[in-house]
Amino acid sequence: MKILAIETSCDETAIAFVEATGGLKAPQFTILGNLVTSQIALHRPFGGVVPNIAKREHLKNLPILFEEIQKIIGRKKPDILAVTVGPGLEPALWTGVGFAKEVRKKYFPKAEFLGVNHMEGHLYSFLLAKASKGKKNKSPSFKTPRVNSFFPAIAVVVSGGHTILLKVDSLEKWKRLGETRDDAVGEAFDKVARMLELPYPGGPEIEKHAKLGNAAAIPFPRPLMHSSDYDFSFSGLKTSVLYYMRDHKDANKDDVAASFQAAAVETLAKKAERAVRQFGAQSILLSGGVAANTALREALTLKAKETGAAFFAPSFEYNTDNAAMIAVAAYMSHLRKKNRRIIAQANISL
């Protein structure tokens, strides 16, 4: 099936065209086009995403990206037209939904029209791990061998707005084990970066500085790391960094970044490990923007090794927001016969 997907939940305008085959048993994806326009530079002076600027930029960028994707689509017609309906910034979501409706009316009235949960996109993005380049074309192709051998899996979904630990029984069934009680881990990276006067988004900046620093320099707390549930809390850790910076005017930024990152990563990795052991998981699935973090990938790879589980994370470009993952989730929705209403919903859960 050919899927055209549109994503505008936050500060990335994205459109992708993906070919999906294999069904729930052996899903396979070829990414024919994956276009992302980032608005980061525009939001940077404000230290975070400004919803109305995001909306304005989505309105401007969508027709440009659509024109570009049309060149890739050529005469092909998508079987599915998918659009992110939430969670996210409501004004941003509405621009994507409105644009998708126009595209459907004008170009693809026969396509199945699916609303997609952004977090399902992240969750399923592990299916975009390890690409092999097709011989005839340069489109990356993703084949998932023996998908049933992955399950049960423990999924760690970590983004700017969410931190969720799930037990995934199949491509159709999962249960949320825990989530953050306050800040999302990506949000904590962004806020700590601001304290260190590093630009937005903070995750990649913290990672860069952390590589130069000593992770054992400052013993920041690991809130809830030993609690018996699977919840997380990053607000206390963030506040500890704030107090540390207040009390140490000459603090070494690299050491602070490294010590903060180590605390955040260890908390996530410990809980994931405990869940793997408790549920006899066969794999750990990592996704969401923070999955781009090498220290986190390495820590979870190690936990997987220690527990005899496999480790899957999307190829680099599918960690942060993109529309290819929305196409993957749309294919799953189609197979699972799940349809969401095509209205923007800022707060839907996974």
Q: Which residues bind ligand KG4 (CB under 6 A)?
A: 10, 159-161, 186-187, 189-190, 201-204, 207, 288-290, 292-293, 320-321
Residue 123 CB, nearest approach to ligand KG4 (Å): 11
CB of 56 to ligand KG4, least distance (A): 19
Q: Pick from Zn ion, ligand KG4, none: which does 293 bind, CB < 5 to 8 A by kind? A: ligand KG4
Q: Are 159 and 286 in contact (CB under 8 A)?
A: no
Per-residue binder mask for Zn ion (CB under 5 A), 307-326, x = binder: --------------x-----
Q: State how far the alpha carbon of 234 is from the alpha carbons of 85, 162, 237, 240, in Å.
A: 27, 11, 5, 10
Is residue 149 exposed (0-12), middle (13-18) or buried (19+ Cβ within 10 Å)? Answer: exposed
Q: 343 exposed, middle or buried (CB, 10 Å; 0-12, 13-18, 19+)?
A: exposed
- Residue 185, token pair as written in the block: 């881990």
Residue 190 vs 321, nearer CB to Zn ion: 321
Other Cβ atoms closer than 10 A to 112: 17
Q: Are 35 and 146 in contact (CB under 8 A)?
A: no
Q: Which does 290 bind (CB under 5 to 8 A by kind): ligand KG4, Zn ion, none?
A: ligand KG4
Q: Find all residues with CB under 8 Å of 71, minimum gap 6, and list them.
A: none
Residue 148 or 349 with smaller CB distance to ligand KG4: 349
Query: How many residues lie near Zn ion (CB under 5 A)?
Result: 2
* 108 vs 189 by CB, closer to ligand KG4: 189
- Ramachandran bin of 206, using left for φ above 0, alpha for ψ from -120 to 50, beta for the remaining angles: alpha
Of residues 19 and 190, the one with the C-beta less far from ligand KG4: 190
Piece of the chain touching Zn ion by CB under 5 A; list 156-164, 270-278, 308-316, 322-330: 156-164
Selected range binding Zn ion among 159-167, 182-190, 241-249, 330-338, rule: CB under 5 A:
159-167
Decide whether 33 or 203 has the Cβ nearer to ligand KG4: 203
Task: Please enumerate in sequence order all residues whose Cβ is within 8 A of that of 106, keeping only pairs 6 or more positions apart, or say none.
Answer: none
Q: Which residues bind Zn ion (CB under 5 A)?
A: 159, 321
